[in-house]
Amino acid sequence: MRGRFAELTMSSSYSRIINSIVTRFHEDEPAKVERRSVATRYGVELLTSIMILLWGYHMARAQGAVWAIITAILILQPGLDRSMSASGVIIVATLLGSSAGTVAALLVPGEAAALLAGVLVTVILCHLFRLDLHVRLACLTVPIVQTWHQGSIIHVDYERIAAILAGCGVALIVQFAGVQFRRQVSWRRTLTAQITPNEPSR
């Protein structure tokens, strides 16, 4: 009886998966165009942000470009409003994690103990500041700060925060510029569509 029930459950799951795949392949043409447009915009914005960050860090001869790029990837989302809110939350979460990791590394003897203390304090701070959904990102910052072997822990902390701010700023500027460009194109198309029917026939 149990075997039969498990077989029916598995068959039902497979059917739902197949139906979902078939539905995606047979979705309406406007939906396909919209998905393709969103993916293209995201790819262009992402590549543009990465190129600007790499160029900027190369010109400044600074370190930490990889963390700025990671931040830009986390920030960029299909909607500008969501990216703005994500930027603020990521900055706060990263500041909490990097600060807790720095203080733990300075006060707690031993790398393992400092790592555990930093993660624990970060979890508590994220709970107090209602950042439960971003606690993983904040905790990830702790070992990044503590295991960087170049320079002092304070220097690494400042460098990491600067990379976060750079990634957020570049990503938001690129996405804002893209939104303004698309609005201008849409406005011109609308204006052209309104003018064209009013032209006298020859």
Task: Read off the pLDDT of residues 51-69 as tens digits, 9 standing for 90 and up.
Answer: 999 999 999 988 888 888 9
Q: How many angstroms separate the CA atoms of 109 and 117, rounded?
A: 10
Q: Mean pLDDT across the stretch 118-146?
A: 88
The number of residues making up the chain comes to 202
Burial class of residue 134 in the structure, from the number of CB atoms within 10 Å of its CB (0-12 exposed, 13-18 middle, 19+ buried): buried
Percent of the chain with pLDDT over 70: 74
Question: Residues 92, 131: contact at Cβ < 8 Å?
Answer: yes
Residue 145 lies in a domain: yes
User: For residue 31, is it within any domain?
Assistant: no
d(CA 145, CA 164): 13
Average pLDDT for 39-56: 91
Number of domains in the chain: 1
Q: What share of the chain is helix, strand, coil (3-state, %, to 5)?
A: 85, 0, 15
Is residue 20 in some structural domain? no
Residue 120 domain-assigned? yes
Distance CA 76, CA 171 (A): 6
Say which residue, 30 or 163, is predicted with more confidence: 163
Confidence check: pLDDT of 42 > 50: yes
What pLDDT is recorded for position 50? 94
CA angle (190 as vertex; 187, 194 as ends), nearest 5: 140
- Global pTM exceeds 0.85: no
Contact 80, 176 (CB under 8 A): yes
Q: Is-contact 139 123, C-beta < 8 A? A: yes
Domain that holds residue 151: 88-181
Q: What is residue 126's predicted lDDT score, i.e. its pLDDT?
A: 92
Q: In this structure, is residue 149 part of a structural domain?
A: yes
pLDDT for residue 5: 47
Does residue 24 fall inside a structural domain?
A: no
Task: Tell me whether residue 141 is in a domain.
Answer: yes
pLDDT tens per residue across span 149-172 = 556 667 777 787 788 888 888 988
Which tops the pLDDT comparison, 1 or 108? 108
